[in-house]
Amino acid sequence: MNIVEALSLQLKLPENAARGLAGQLLGLIEDTVREKVSFGVASRIRDAVPEMISWQTSAPTLAPGSLHINELPLPTPAGDAAELDGLLERFRIPAAEMALVASLALQFLSSRVDPTTLAVIARAMPALTRRP
């Protein structure tokens, strides 16, 4: 599965934004797994998705001075759903699309990691399996 293409088509994002979203989404999942489970399991994600780092750095950036402090989103409360929602907000994706983004992430990861690792990921970050 090509997660960048899926995010681009389904969310109507430019390819560089879809790459950035994919990288940051997978980075969030990796960080959550590292915090809640172990460094070893998080490393499996990093090893299975070597392109994640280049995707993370391809996220569109803002030109200096193009955003006013009052336009910045408020900090999100702790929790995986709130962090995922905050990530979507940074890419100007409606919160209603969270289930779609989560589903695409799990589909992509299922093509890259073994079923046991995928189950650990889903338990560590329940927002990926919640349905609206």
Instruction: Give residue-wise pLDDT tens across range 14-39.
Output: 998 999 999 999 999 999 999 999 99
Q: Assess contact for 127 and 98: CB atoms under 8 A.
A: yes
- Burial of residue 14, with CB atoms counted within 10 A of its CB: 0-12 exposed, 13-18 middle, 19 or more buried: exposed
Tell me 74's DSSP state: P
Helix axis angle, 39-48 to 15-36, nearest 10°: 160
pTM of the predicted protein model = 0.83
Q: Assess contact for 29 and 105: CB atoms under 8 A.
A: yes
Confidence category of residue 109, pLDDT binned at 50, 70, 90: very high
Q: Is the pLDDT of residue 7 over 70?
A: yes
pLDDT recorded at residue 31: 93
